[in-house]
Chain A
C-alpha cells in the first residue's frame, strides 16, 4: 500500500479514475456513432490549444478546453447533421497541427524555456505530475462530463442508431449531436492531461470497442466501457508505479490495447474483422 503514501500517486489515481470514467462513457457513443476519427482530430487540436495557451502566457488547461470545445462546435457546424464528416475534419487537420508546431517554437524561444518539456508533456501526458488542485479540478470536470452523458444517454442512443425515427419522435437530434461533440471535446482535453494528446484516442476508443465486442446490450456496453476504462487506468498506474521504467501513458495504453485485443480474440467469429475497423 506504499503507493498511497505518495501524494503524486493519489492525485494521479483521483484524476485518472474520473477521466477514465468520462472517457469510457463518451467513447462508447464515439464508437457507436462511428466518430472515432473526430477523436483523432481533437488530439491534434488539444496539442495546439495547450501550446497556444503556453505561448501566450495562459494556463495550459485553458487553452486545452478552449481549443477542443471550440473545435467541436466548428465540426458540428461544418459537418452535416452534426455528424462531422471526414472531409471537414481532414481539411483542418494538418493546418492545426502545423499551428501547434508554430506555438511550440514561439513558446520555447520567447519564454526562455522555463518549462522545456512542455511539448512532450502535452503530447504524452504527465499524470504523475498533477498537483492536488489540478487533480481535483480534473476530477470535477470529468464528473460533470459523466453526469451529462448519463443525462442524455437514452435519446443520444436513439439519435445515434435511428436518426429519422428519433427526429420524428421530437428528439432534438441536431442539438444532441452538437452537445455530444462538445462532450467529446471536453473529454479530449481531460484525457490529454492523463495520457497526452497523442494517446487520448486509445483511452476513448479501446475500452468502448472492447465493450461493444463483449455485449450487445447498449446500456450494459456503456457501463462496461466505463468500467473497463477505469480498470485499465488503475492497472496502468499500478504497473507504472512498480516498474518505474514504464511511463504511465504507455502502461495505460498497453493495458487498454491488451484488453481490446483479448476481447477481439475472445469474441472471434464472423464479425471479428469488423471490430478492427471500429478502432
Chain B
C-alpha cells in the first residue's frame, strides 16, 4: 500500500489491496492457496505427500494434526522457504515466496527476551519496511509524507488488534498475549491477502486464546483476508472455521469442520480413539486428542525421554 489515508476504514483497504493493473480489467481473484499432489521432504524423511488442498479467498482454514507431522513445514513451504518435494503449489496465484507482502506470516515462537528494549510499534514497523536497505532518515514526520503514512498505518493496525495501550512500551515488557497481538499487527501492516499463522494461540492462557482467535476471525470475516492457521487445539477457533485440514499418517484430509471433525475420521487419523462431542449450543468439542504414536517413537530415538 502506498497511499493510506488515515481516515480509511479497514473495509476500504481491502478494495485497494490489489494494485491497479496498468491496463485491462482486474483478473479474477485466484484461490489463496492451492496444492496439487504436493509432498514435502525434510532431509531424507518424507513428512507427507499426495496432498490436495484449495483455500479460497477469504476462507479461514485450520491445519490440525499431531506434533511432528509437518504442520509448520506446510507453512514454510507456502512461504517458499522450503521447496515442495513433489506436486504443484501456488500461493495467491504465484509460486511460493513470490507473493511478497501479499502474505503475512506469524511464526511459531517463544516470547521476546524480557530485556529487549524495542517498542512494540518498532516491531510492527519492521513488518512495514524492515526488508528495505538503509536507515530511515531522521526527517520529522511533519516534512515527510511517507513518514506520516507509515505512522498512520502503524497506528491503524495497532488499534485494529487492540494494542494501543501498550504498543509504545518495550516489547520485552509486554505479556505473551500482548506480544502476540503486536505480532499479528506486524503481519497485517502491509495489508496482506493471506495470513499464515503458526500456532498463534499456543503460548496464551485460555481467555487470551479466545480473544486472539476472535480477533483473527474478525480480520478474516471483515477484511476478507484468507487465513491458514496451524493449531494444536481446534476448540478456540471452531466458531470461525470454514475448512479443516488434518495432517497425519503422511497425508492429509481436508473438508468442512462437520465432515472432518468427527469421531470416526479423527480416530482413524490419529490411530487412537478420539471423541467429538456436541455441546448444547451446537459447538463441537474434541476430547482425547492424543499425541501421535509416531511422535513417541521419535522421542525415544532422539532423547530417550518419555
Contact = CB atoms under 8 A, between A and B. Distances in A.
Interface string A144-184: 00000011111101100110111111110000000000000
B131 A219 contact: no
B23 interface: no
Contact of A278 (B81, B115, B133): B115
A116 to B, nearest CB: 45
A217 B119 contact: yes
Contacts of B79: 168
Given A151-B134, A153-B134, A168-B81, A162 B126 contact: yes
Q: DSSP class of B's interface residues: helix, strand, loop or mixed?
A: loop
A165 B136 contact: no
B81 A150 contact: no
B115 A277 contact: yes
Contact of B131 (A155, A213, A222): A155
B100 A170 contact: yes
A169 to B, nearest CB: 5
Given A216-B170, A218-B122, A166 B130 contact: yes
A217 B123 CA distance: 10
A274 B131 contact: no
B119 A161 contact: no
B218 to A, nearest CB: 22
B119 A216 contact: yes
Interface string B96-137: 010011010111010010111111001100110111111110
A171 B114 contact: no
A217 B130 contact: no
Q: What range describes how many residues of A lie at the interface?
A: 20 to 34
Interface string A203-218: 0000000001101111
B186 interface: yes
A170 B97 contact: yes
A69 B138 CA distance: 32
A166 B131 contact: yes
A155 B132 contact: yes
A153 B133 CA distance: 7
Contacts of A155: 130-133
Contacts of A153: 134-135
Interface in B227-262: none
A170 B132 CA distance: 10
Contacts of A221: 117
Contact of A154 (B97, B130, B173): B130
A222 B127 CA distance: 19
Nearest to B122: A218
Given A164-B109, A168-B81, A170-B97, A154 B117 contact: no
B117 A213 contact: yes
A278 B114 CA distance: 12
A162 B123 contact: yes
Contacts of A217: 118-119, 122
B130 A164 contact: no
A6 interface: no
Given A216-B170, A217-B119, A165 B127 contact: yes
A157, A162, A274, A278 interface centre (most CB from chain B within 10 Å) = A162
A167 B80 CA distance: 10
A83 to B, nearest CB: 14
A161 B120 CA distance: 12
A255 B173 CA distance: 30
Given A165-B186, A213-B117, A221-B117, A154 B100 contact: no
A219 B117 contact: no
A21 to B, nearest CB: 14
A212 B186 CA distance: 22
Contacts of B123: 161-162
A228 to B, nearest CB: 15
A69 B72 CA distance: 36
Given A154-B136, A170-B100, A216-B170, A161 B131 contact: no
A218 B172 CA distance: 14
Given A153-B134, A164-B107, 5 more contacts: A154-B126, A161-B126, A164-B109, A217-B119, A222-B135
Please give me the 4 A-B residue pairs with the lowest Cβ-Cβ distance, nearest first: A158-B130, A164-B107, A274-B115, A168-B105
5 contacts: A153-B134, A165-B106, A168-B79, A169-B101, A216-B169
Interface of B: 79, 81, 97, 100-101, 103, 105-107, 109, 112, 114-119, 122-123, 126-127, 129-136, 138, 169-170, 173, 186-187
